[in-house]
Each structure stands twice: as C-alpha cells, then as structure tokens.
Amino acid sequence: DTEVTQTPKHLVMGMTNKKSLKCEQHMGHRAMYWYKQKAKKPPELMFVYSYEKLSINESVPSRFSPECPNSSLLNLHLHALQPEDSALYLCASSQETGANTEAFFGQGTRLTVV
C-alpha cells in the first residue's frame, strides 16, 4: 500500500505561532521529502532526508525547521511565518533517493498564515 499520511490537513496560524506538520509512512522508504506548492504552480522542493539524515536543504528560511525522528516520521516545525508562506505543504517518500525511485505524496497540509 503506497500511503503517506500527513496531519493536520488544514492549519491556520498567526505570525507569532509555533506549529508542526507531521508526516508518516510505513512502506519502509528511506527517503522523505518536504515540498511547498503554491496555487497553479508545481511543487517546490524544500528538504530531503535520506536514511534519517538531512541531505538537501534548498536554502529554505530558518523559520522552517525539519526533523526526522525515525525512518517512518518526518516533521516540519514552523515558527514566525509570513503570510506569503501560505501554501500546500506536501510530504513525499521514496524507497531510496536517486534517479530511478518513484516518490509518493501525502495529501498535504493546507497552511494559511494570518
């Protein structure tokens, strides 16, 4: 079963709040990803974890802080966000990193920063 579960599905937060997005997969995948997607745009890569280690940070502002507690879980901690950070945040996982591995996406968290 190719399933990536994200919580919450929707989140509204103020600019001074701290919140976390959560992602879980039980497919034994060793690579996990955070993407940000704005309306009518393709997903933009934020972070890649491979074997629980951060391997790519796409110059994401420090107000976004990823964490990979174990091979099944990926968190994204949010603090002092701006209204322009409102977007769909997608988690994905793949068996490995590398060119021939398919990525599977969670349903996303729709974030609104007010």
Partner 1 sequence: RKEVEQDPGPFNVPEGATVAFNCTYSNSASQSFFWYRQDCRKEPKLLMSVYSSGNEDGRFTAQLNRASQYISLLIRDSKLSDSATYLCVVPHRSNDYKLSFGAGTTVTVRA
Q: Is 33 exposed, middle or buried (0-12, 13-18, 19+ CB in 10 A)?
A: buried
Task: Work out whether the CA dihedral 77, 82, 84, 86 comes out positive or negative.
Answer: positive
By C-beta, is 25 or 97 nearer to partner 1?
97
Question: Is 43:94 a contact under the CB 8 Å cutoff?
Answer: no
Q: Does 66 bind partner 1 (CB under 8 A)?
A: no
Q: Angle at Cα 109 formed by Cα 111 and Cα 45, nearest 5°?
A: 90
By C-beta, is 18 or 96 nearer to partner 1?
96
x-or-dash string of contact with partner 1, 7-46, rule CB under 8 A: ------------------------x---------xxx-x-
Taking residue 5's Cβ as centre, other Cβ atoms within 10 Å add up to 12
Say if residue 61 is preceded by a cis peptide, omega within 30 of 0: no
x-or-dash string of contact with partner 1, 70-109, rule CB under 8 A: ------------------x-x------xxxx-xxxxxxx-
Instruction: Tell me how far, at minimum, the Cβ of 26 lies from partner 1, in Å.
Output: 17
By C-beta, is 68 or 90 nearer to partner 1?
90
> Which positions touch partner 1 (CB under 8 A)?
2, 31, 41-43, 45, 48, 50, 55-56, 88, 90, 97-100, 102-108, 110
